[in-house]
Amino acid sequence: MSSLWSKPKNRKVASLLALTGIVSPVAGLHKFYLGQPGWGVVYLLLSWTMIPKVASGLEGIWYLVQDREEFDGNFNEAATEVSLPSSAAIVDPTQVGAIAEALRQLDQLRQDGLISEYEFEQKRRQFLDRIA
C-alpha cells in the first residue's frame, strides 16, 4: 500500500477528482488520491454539507492553475530527484565501483525512509543501465 502513496501524482487527475466532488454525492476523493486520507475522511464525514463541495471546487481550480513544479513541490515531494555523489553522475563502464557506492548510498536513503521503494528501483535501474 505504501507503493500506491509513493507514486507521483498527476495534477490533472487530482483536479478532475476534486471537480467531480462538486457534482457527486461524495467529495474528497482527490484527498485520498493525493495521499491525504485524513482529509479525505473529513470530507466524507462532512459530505452532507456544502463545505466539501465548495472546498473541492476551489482545490480543483487551484490544482489547475499551479504549474507542474509547484504541484510537484506540494504533492510529489517524495518524487523529487535525489542528489547523489558527482562520481556517480557520469560513469564509465569500467567504474563499476562508483556505481556500487552510489547504489549503497541510494539503498541507505531508502532504508532511512527518505525515498520510496519505487524511487529506489527507478534509480537503481538507471545506474545498472550505465554498466550495460
What pLDDT shows up at residue 16? 92
Q: Is 33 in the same domain as 89?
A: no
> The pTM is what?
0.54
Q: Is 71 in the same domain as 92?
A: no
Q: Is 27 in the same domain as 92?
A: no
57: containing domain: 2-77
Q: Is 91 in the same domain as 127?
A: yes
- Which of 77, 97, 120 represents a domain boundary (last residue)? 77
**What 3-state class would DSSP assign to 15?**
helix
Q: Is 66 in the same domain as 98?
A: no
Q: Is 11 in the same domain as 67?
A: yes
What pLDDT shows up at residue 78? 54
How does DSSP classify residue 30? H
How does DSSP classify residue 126? H
| Residue 26 vs residues 44, 53, 125: alpha-carbon distances, Å | 6, 8, 40
Dihedral in degrees, nearest 10, Cα atoms 97, 101, 107, 112: 170
Encode pLDDT of 47-81 as tens digits: 889 999 998 889 989 888 988 888 888 888 754 44
Around Cβ 35, how many Cβ atoms within 10 Å?
16
Q: Is 63 in the same domain as 89?
A: no
**What 3-state class would DSSP assign to 86?**
helix
Q: Is 55 in the same domain as 16?
A: yes
Q: Is 102 in the same domain as 70?
A: no
Domain count, the chain: 2
Q: Is 33 in the same domain as 98?
A: no
Q: Is 9 in the same domain as 73?
A: yes
Mean per-residue pLDDT for 77-94?
51
Q: Which one has a higher pLDDT value, 17 or 99? A: 17
Alpha helices in the chain (DSSP H): 2-6, 11-23, 29-33, 37-45, 51-65, 68-75, 96-111, 117-131
